């Protein structure tokens, strides 16, 4: 690949979803055309891996999800996360405070898998016990994508008005992070009871990964405050892009000045900032978000895309000069970008970047957290049960219909099952380069929202999901396309 390839020329059109589709009823003909399985010819990922029949693979995925779910319900029911080795629980947002995070994250996955009794049990707990007014400080970014998004997806799946009401109350208590900011760039943390805000050094992803959830909430309630807050934040950040069209990685809430002007896309801490430009445009039909996505992606491709060892990577550069800056390690969290590029119209580069991460996976039982792009050596040797590679495989399969992406996804699933399964569920790993991957002791709540959902959707052909119109958030929440049964 050339150092400075030309910007996108083939971005696919983004069309708004009808209100009926947003509310979860499949409507033929209202889909985003970029998400039709089999509409393009894929270059399948190079892999000798195979997988069983779709039915058999779906049964395996379902069984493993239930294994993890039973570990949670047996040892951490009502708490945020399970520690499956020690069989204890973990409070995610604040010590001594629980939001039942894992069950909120699991709501639409339970629905898609037909686990209606467990879904009802979880909804009952949320209605009785989830308190959006706890006297604790929560991280805005995580609260929006995990709690607000999970409650909205649960509402779309079940029709329970109480879940929508909880999402709205929680969002009202998060809004001070935006409304108290002089720039519109939100503070990173807010106390849900007092409205006190803190955190002025804002990673780019944390500034704006909220427009999908807040936009949907505005649509469902008729209250535009949530969407307006998100868009004000986007405008504040994007107006501060460099003359090269690049954005830094950390910005100051109150001054609007860059704290770190290094452009590091698609790696953290900026990753989902770009994902929500495309996702927000597709879900909400907002042309401005789509235009920003195209402009910023063109700049990333021009100044950051590089070939290292014959593979596509994205280097870190000074956003003002375009000169190389920062470290070279690449994060597994950036693997989602293969699917985003493809959905945004650049299928060829999306496929190329997916092959890059497939080459990394071929060297390890599961993907390490970070790798050196030249040697593919693990830099951070741990694994946090990340879902981004499976996410990209799902996106590319939907676009192309190519079974190569199913084989790649199944290989990812099989590696996880062989190396991160314990008696109490699934756990993170401390070192994927040694035999046994040195198990840790945590099932991140997002495992219930993402990893198994992508696999299930690929293999199950569930009638509860509209494969034409479905749109998922960065946390794997189905915000459009759930089919009510």
3-state secondary structure (DSSP) of residue 80: coil
Distance CA 248, CA 271 (A): 12
258 pLDDT more than 90: yes
Residues 6+ apart with CB under 8 A from 468: 26, 28, 31, 35, 36, 481
Residue 6 falls inside a structural domain = no
Distance CA 375, CA 377 (A): 5
The answer to whether the Cα torsion of 254, 260, 262, 265 is positive or negative is negative
Distance CA 90, CA 6 (A): 47
Residues 6+ apart with CB under 8 A from 366: 383, 412, 415, 416, 419, 420, 429, 432, 437
Least confident of 26-30, 139-143, 256-260, 308-312: 26-30
User: What's the domain count of the chain?
Assistant: 1
42 pLDDT more than 70: no
Contact predicate 311/373, CB 8 Å: yes
User: What pLDDT is attached to residue 485?
Assistant: 80
Task: Please state the pTM of the whole predicted model.
Answer: 0.90
Domain that includes residue 416, residue range: 19-480
User: What pLDDT is attached to residue 357?
Assistant: 98
409 pLDDT more than 50: yes
Contact predicate 397/352, CB 8 Å: no
Residue 347's domain is classified under what CATH number?
1.50.10.10
Residue 133 falls inside a structural domain = yes
Residue 437 falls inside a structural domain = yes
29 pLDDT more than 90: no
Residue 12 falls inside a structural domain = no
Residue 13 falls inside a structural domain = no
> What tens digit of pLDDT does each residue of 327-371 get?
999 999 999 999 999 999 999 999 999 999 999 999 999 999 999
In percent, the amount of the chain with pLDDT more than 90 equals 89
Residue 14 falls inside a structural domain = no
40 pLDDT more than 50: no
45 pLDDT more than 90: no
Compute the mean pLDDT over every residue in the chain, rounded to the nearest whole number: 91
> What tens digit of pLDDT does each residue of 443-453 get?
999 999 999 99
Residue 363 falls inside a structural domain = yes
Residue 193: cis peptide before it, omega within 30 degrees of 0: no
Q: Helix-strand-coil percent breakdown of the chain, rounded to 5?
A: 45, 10, 40
> What tens digit of pLDDT does each residue of 381-395 get?
999 999 999 999 999
Residue 4 falls inside a structural domain = no
Nearest to 459 by CA among 386, 387, 385, 398: 398
State mean pLDDT over 261-282.
98
142 pLDDT more than 70: yes
């Amino acid at each position: 690949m050339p150092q400075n390839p030309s910007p996108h020329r083939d971005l696919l059109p983004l069309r708004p979803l009808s209100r009926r589709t947003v509310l979860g009823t499949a409507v033929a003909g209202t889909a985003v055309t970029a998400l039709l399985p089999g509409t393009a010819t894929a270059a399948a990922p190079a892999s000798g891996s195979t997988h069983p029949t779709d039915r058999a693979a779906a049964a395996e995925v379902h069984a493993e999800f239930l294994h993890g779910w039973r570990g949670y319900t047996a040892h951490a029911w009502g708490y945020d996360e399970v520690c499956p080795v020690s069989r204890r629980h973990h409070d995610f947002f604040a010590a001594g405070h629980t939001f039942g995070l894992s069950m909120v994250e699991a709501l639409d996955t339970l629905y898609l898998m037909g686990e209606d009794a467990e879904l009802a049990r979880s909804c009952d707990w949320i209605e009785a016990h989830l308190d959006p007014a706890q006297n604790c400080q929560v991280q805005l970014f995580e609260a929006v994508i995990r709690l607000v998004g999970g409650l909205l997806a649960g509402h779309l799946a079940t029709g329970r008005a109480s879940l929508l009401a909880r999402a709205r109350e929680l969002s009202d208590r998060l809004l001070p992070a935006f409304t108290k900011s002089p720039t519109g760039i939100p503070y990173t943390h807010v106390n849900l009871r007092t409205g006190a805000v803190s955190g002025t050094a804002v990673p780019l992803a944390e500034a704006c990964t909220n427009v999908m959830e807040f936009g949907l909430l505005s649509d469902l309630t008729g209250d535009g405050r949530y969407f307006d807050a998100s868009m004000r934040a986007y405008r504040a950040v994007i107006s501060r892009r460099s003359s090269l069209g690049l954005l830094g990685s950390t910005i100051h809430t109150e001054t609007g000045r860059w704290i770190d002007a290094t452009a590091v896309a698609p790696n953290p801490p900026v990753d989902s900032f770009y994902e929500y430009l495309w996702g927000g445009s597709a879900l909400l039909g907002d042309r401005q978000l789509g235009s920003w996505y195209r402009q910023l992606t063109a700049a990333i491709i021009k100044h950051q895309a590089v070939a290292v060892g014959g593979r596509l990577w994205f280097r870190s550069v000074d956003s003002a000069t375009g000169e190389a800056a920062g470290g070279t390690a690449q994060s597994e969290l950036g693997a989602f970008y293969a699917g985003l590029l493809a959905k945004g119209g650049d299928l060829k580069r999306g496929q190329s970047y997916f092959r890059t991460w497939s080459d990394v996976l071929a060297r390890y039982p599961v993907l390490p957290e970070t790798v050196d792009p030249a040697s593919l050596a693990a830099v951070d040797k741990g694994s946090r049960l990340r879902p981004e590679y499976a996410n990209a495989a799902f996106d590319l399969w939907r676009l192309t219909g190519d079974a190569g992406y199913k084989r790649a996804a199944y290989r990812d699933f099989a590696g996880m099952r062989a190396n991160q399964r314990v008696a109490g569920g699934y756990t993170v790993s401390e070192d994927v380069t040694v035999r046994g991957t040195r198990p840790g002791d945590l099932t991140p709540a997002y495992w219930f929202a993402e990893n198994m959902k992508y696999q299930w959707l690929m293999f199950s052909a569930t009638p509860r999901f509209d494969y034409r119109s479905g749109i998922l958030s960065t946390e794997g929440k189905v915000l459009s396309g759930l089919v009510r049964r």
